[in-house]
Each structure stands twice: as C-alpha cells, then as structure tokens.
Amino acid sequence: MRVRQAEWDIPQKEAVFGYDISAAAATHITVCDHDERFKNNGRRAHSCVLPLPTGAVVFRNGKSVASPELLFLELANELSIHRLILLGLQLCSYPVGSPSKAITTKQNLVKFLEKTSGHRGHRKAMRAVKYIENGSASIMESLAFMILTLPSNLGGYGLNGAAFGYKFRLSDEERMQLLQNYCIVDMYYKHAKVAVEYDSFTHHSSPAEQGKDAIRAEILRKHGITVMHLSTIQLYNNVACRDFARSLSAKINKRIRMQSSKYDEMNGLLRELLPEKDCESKLQNK
C-alpha cells in the first residue's frame, strides 16, 4: 500500500510540504511485516502491525494507496505540527461554493483518527485536527486562518471560532447589484457578526474587483455584518498583522493572550509557511 501525497491532488501542495519536499518526495509504502521494511531509490517501506479501519486503503489509478485520512495520519510523523495543520486545511479545502470537490472533510478525519488509536503519529494528528476547518478556498486563506486562530503556544493570535465560506442569501435588489444569488465571505465569526475578507494581490487589485468588493461590503453592512479586510501586505508584515488581529479581537470581544513562553519561536515557525511574495500570485492561480 502506497502512501504518497502526489496520489491526491492536494491544492497548492508545494506550499504545504515545502518546495523541495514536494518536488522530490519519496514514495512511502506500508507493509504488514516488520521484516519487509526497506529504503531504496526514493521508496521507503514502513511496517504497520495494528489493524486499519475499513476504507483506510483505496484503489486509485491502478494502485492501492492510502486514503486521504490515512495519508494525514502517516504524514504526522514527517511534518511539523504547523505543516500538518496546513495539510489538513488543504485536504478539506474546496473552490468557493463547491464543497463536493473537497478531498475529505474534518468530520472524516476525526472519525478515522478515533479508530486508529495506537498508530504512529496518532497523538500529533489528533492535536492538529482540532485546528482544522472545512472550506478554505486558497492556501493564503488557510495561512491567514492559522495565524489568526491558532493558540499562542502554536504562534497564533487565538481568535478562534471563524468558519470558512459562510453564505448569505441576497434580496432581489442585491442580486441585481452583484449579479449573483448569494454572497460568500472568506471567514466569518457568526457570534459577533464579523466577516474577514482576505484581499490578495491577484484577485483584488483591479478597479473592477475593488468596486465589486465595495458593493459587497456595503450590502453586508446592511445585514448588520462588520467587514474587515486583511491584505497580503498586512499578512506578511508582522506588526501590521498584529494590529489587524488586535482590531479583530475588539470586534469579536475576545482577548489576545500571548502567554506562552514559546510564542515568538512558534510565531516565527508559523510565518515561515508564508510563500515568498513572488510566489503568492502563482499559488492563488493554481
């Protein structure tokens, strides 16, 4: 049974695994007998003597491969906690309004992990899945979500409670303005009625897009929604990002607590996941 990330079309996998890892990743093969392990020519065999749940191995492209859920568990041993969370977010991501195109869901990951106690990487995978949500529409949304919502001991601002891709129905007049039946926001804190829109260079720099964003924001305000815009420049600038997080914390009535002694170290590791700025537009277009 093969365990290789290339078998699944993970969105923006270069940013998830790192460009070097993604380009030259080994094929990991799981065998049942400890004595059958080997490592050669870019292939590594690991042994697994514990039983796996039904559906852990699937037939894909003529080969028996790890399911997305087993892939997540197996890679818990290979990836940092931050990259593992990012992997989970990307496995559960999908284009705006198309949940059926997600590779898997948080619910499927949780159900699988509940049945695999004792397997290598299980504890780390269980820790990571707590911070995963369905519905990210891009790698940059996933990274912004992590920076804003992860707890301080993982380098984030601890502003959890946001959902991806929240949908608002529009009135007839609003439909005519936007030429669509509903409005979807990138991240939404439902309890506080606060929406966070990530404004990338790629999709929000033209006058037409900026005009449409302004109309969207005004319509949402009529619905009692506070709209906050997080730009790429703010996300990449640590001080500007912190200021944005403080403004957000006030609007959702949640304090930022940076009490962990490892905050600076973990925040640095988290921010290392941000792709180089000249790569951001390429990733958004994939």
pTM of this structure:
0.86
CB atoms within 10 A of CB 246: 13
The pLDDT, as a whole number, for residue 24 is: 41
How buried is residue 165: exposed, middle or buried, by Cβ count under 10 Å (0-12/13-18/19+)? buried
d(CA 213, CA 206): 11
Please give the pLDDT value at position 151.
96
User: Do 146 and 131 form a contact (C-beta atoms < 8 A)?
Assistant: yes
As averages over each run of 10 residues, the pLDDT of the chain (286 residues) reads: 64 81 53 52 60 86 87 92 98 90 97 94 97 97 98 96 94 89 94 94 65 86 94 96 98 90 94 78 49
Buried b (16+ CB within 10 A) or exposed e, 186-207: bbbbeebebbbbbbbebebeee
Buried-state track 37-58, b at ≥16 Cβ within 10 A, e below 16: eeeeeeeeebebeeebeeebbe
Per-residue pLDDT at 205: 58
